[in-house]
Amino acid sequence: GAGVSQSPSNKVTEKGKDVELRCDPISGHTALYWYRQSLGQGLEFLIYFQGNSAPDKSGLPSDRFSAERTGGSVSTLTIQRTQQEDSAVYLCASSWTSGGLDTQYFGPGTRLTVL
Partner 1 sequence: GENVEQHPSTLSVQEGDSAVIKCTYSDSASNYFPWYKQELGKRPQLIIDIRSNVGEKKDQRIAVTLNKTAKHFSLHITETQPEDSAVYFCAASNPTGNQFYFGTGTSLTVIP
Q: Single out the segment in contact with partner 1 by CB under 8 A; choices: 20-28, 41-49, 62-70, 74-82.
A: 41-49
Q: Single out the segment in contact with partner 1 by CB under 8 A; choices: 22-30, 66-74, 75-83, 104-112.
A: 104-112
Work out whether 103 is an interface residue with partner 1 (CB under 8 A): yes
Work out whether 91 is an interface residue with partner 1 (CB under 8 A): yes
- CA–CA separation, 73 and 88 (whole Å): 24
Residues 115 and 15: beta-carbon distance below 8 Å: yes
Work out whether 43 is an interface residue with partner 1 (CB under 8 A): yes
Query: What are the percentages of helix, strand and coil residues in the chain, rounded to 5?
Result: 5, 45, 50
Q: Which is nearer to partner 1, 14 or 39 (CB)?
A: 39
Residue 33 C-alpha from the chain's centroid: 6
Amino acid, single-letter form, for residue 10: N
Task: List the one residue from 7, 11, 22, 99 that touches partner 1 (CB under 8 A).
Answer: 99
- CA–CA separation, 23 and 60 (whole Å): 17
Using CA atoms, how far residue 17 sits from 8, 38, 39, in Å, is 16, 20, 21
Q: Single out the segment in contact with partner 1 by CB under 8 A; choices: 10-18, 19-27, 73-81, 101-109.
A: 101-109
Work out whether 71 is an interface residue with partner 1 (CB under 8 A): no
Which spans of this chain sit near partner 1 (rule: CB under 8 A)? Answer: 31, 33, 35, 40-45, 48, 50, 56, 58-59, 91, 97-109
